């Protein structure tokens, strides 16, 4: 690994590292914020998954998370949103290819060779983080938009691995909206029966644990009615008795202005679960 950035923030260290990811068969960056408490003892970790077109920089420079992470004594890891590089398949559209990995394991050419983001986020990256940095194996997961989809899916599919789940403006039912239908057709093929493994709403019925889920959604989000549709997820969760809190935030849009306004609540949600309080 190579450290490519180091900044002091809120008494801790904001770092960016570059490494070769075996699951992705390419080099990628990840960011990690280590709070001041990590200087004296290992701390728990929150994973933040970003949305379409983003990389690790969007979250660490725009969300304002470092001060809250320092307050609660938690690390935050912000990985890439997809494999990247000259040898990695891409698409001219913003919602497919590099920057748009959808946190799944692709099975279709040309994507299958590199687009194994589910395995990278679930297994390879945490193993690397826990072997390299002063952190514990207590983890939680959150994300925004496409990353909210990833956080919900990975959290629901891996009982016992995470202590908490939350999301900003998540794609909750990708098999029922244009973003998901396009990406899943390309990455997973035309057989829709394979898509349910990466649809958070469909996964609720098979969830082996009932972690409380916090979702914040802006009422002025221009993707709300066409791509996000949180009411689908909430209705299914309520039918199954799965605890979920949807907070509709009036006037907020899809941007990091929205995320930065409520990131403190989400970090507190995760910190309480990670520390068992």
Measured between alpha carbons, how far is 9 from 30 in angstroms, rounded to an integer? 17
Extended strands (E) in the chain = 2-9, 12-21, 26-34, 43-49, 75-79, 135-144, 165-168, 213-218, 244-249
Give the pLDDT score at 276.
84
Measured between alpha carbons, how far is 184 from 167 in angstroms, rounded to an integer? 21
Q: Using the 8-state DSSP alphabet, how is residue 1 labeled?
A: -
Cis peptide before 110 (omega within 30 of 0): yes
pLDDT digits (tens, 9 = 90+) for 75-97: 999 999 999 999 999 999 999 99
pLDDT digits (tens, 9 = 90+) for 20-47: 999 999 999 999 999 999 999 999 999 9
Q: Which residues pair with 166 in a beta bridge?
A: 142, 214
Measured between alpha carbons, how far is 203 from 199 in angstroms, rounded to an integer? 6
Query: What are the boundaries of each domain within the chain?
Result: 2-275
Measured between alpha carbons, how far is 178 from 184 in angstroms, rounded to an integer? 10
User: Could you tell me the pTM of the whole model?
Assistant: 0.98
Mean pLDDT of 123-128: 98
Q: pLDDT band at 227, cuts 50/70/90? A: very high
Question: CA torsion 96→98→102→106, rounded to 10°?
Answer: 90
What number does CATH give the domain 2-275?
Answer: 3.40.50.1820
| Residues designated catalytic | 145, 221, 254
Measured between alpha carbons, how far is 183 from 185 in angstroms, rounded to an integer? 5
Mean pLDDT of 235-245: 97
The percent of residues above 90 in pLDDT, for the chain, comes to: 99
The number of residues making up the chain comes to 277
Contact 7, 24 (CB under 8 A): no
Instruction: Please report how many Cα atoms fall inside a 13 Å half-sphere around the Cα of residue 85, on the Cβ side.
Output: 17
Give the pLDDT score at 144.
98
pLDDT digits (tens, 9 = 90+) for 128-176: 999 999 999 999 999 999 999 999 999 999 999 999 999 999 999 999 9
pLDDT digits (tens, 9 = 90+) for 191-216: 999 999 999 999 999 999 999 899 99
């Amino acid at each position: 690994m190579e450290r490519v950035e180091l900044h002091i923030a809120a008494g801790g260290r904001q770092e960016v590292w570059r490494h070769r990811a075996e699951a992705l068969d390419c080099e990628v960056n990840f960011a990690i914020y280590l709070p001041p408490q990590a200087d004296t003892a290992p701390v728990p970790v929150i994973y933040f998954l970003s949305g379409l077109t983003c990389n690790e920089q969007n979250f660490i420079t725009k969300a304002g998370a470092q001060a809250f992470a320092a307050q609660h004594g938690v690390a935050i890891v912000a990985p890439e949103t997809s494999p990247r590089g000259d040898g990695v398949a891409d698409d001219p559209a913003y919602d497919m290819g590099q920057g748009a990995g959808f946190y799944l394991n692709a099975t279709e050419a040309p994507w299958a060779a590199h687009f194994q983001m589910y395995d990278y986020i679930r297994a390879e990256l945490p193993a690397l983080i826990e072997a390299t940095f002063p952190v514990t194996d207590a983890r939680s997961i959150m994300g925004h938009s496409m990353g909210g989809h990833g956080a919900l899916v990975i959290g629901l599919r891996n009982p016992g691995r995470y202590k908490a789940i939350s999301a900003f403006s998540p794609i909750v039912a990708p098999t029922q909206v244009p973003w998901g239908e396009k990406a899943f057709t390309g990455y997973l093929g035309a057989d829709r029966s394979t898509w349910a493994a990466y649809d958070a709403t469909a996964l609720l019925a098979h969830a082996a644990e009932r972690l409380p889920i916090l979702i914040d959604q802006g009422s002025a989000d221009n993707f709300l009615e066409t791509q996000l549709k949180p009411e689908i997820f909430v209705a299914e969760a309520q039918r199954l008795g799965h605890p979920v809190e949807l907070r509709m935030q009036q006037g907020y849009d899809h941007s990091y202005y929205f995320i930065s306004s409520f990131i403190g609540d989400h970090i507190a949600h995760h910190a309480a679960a990670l520390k068992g309080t």
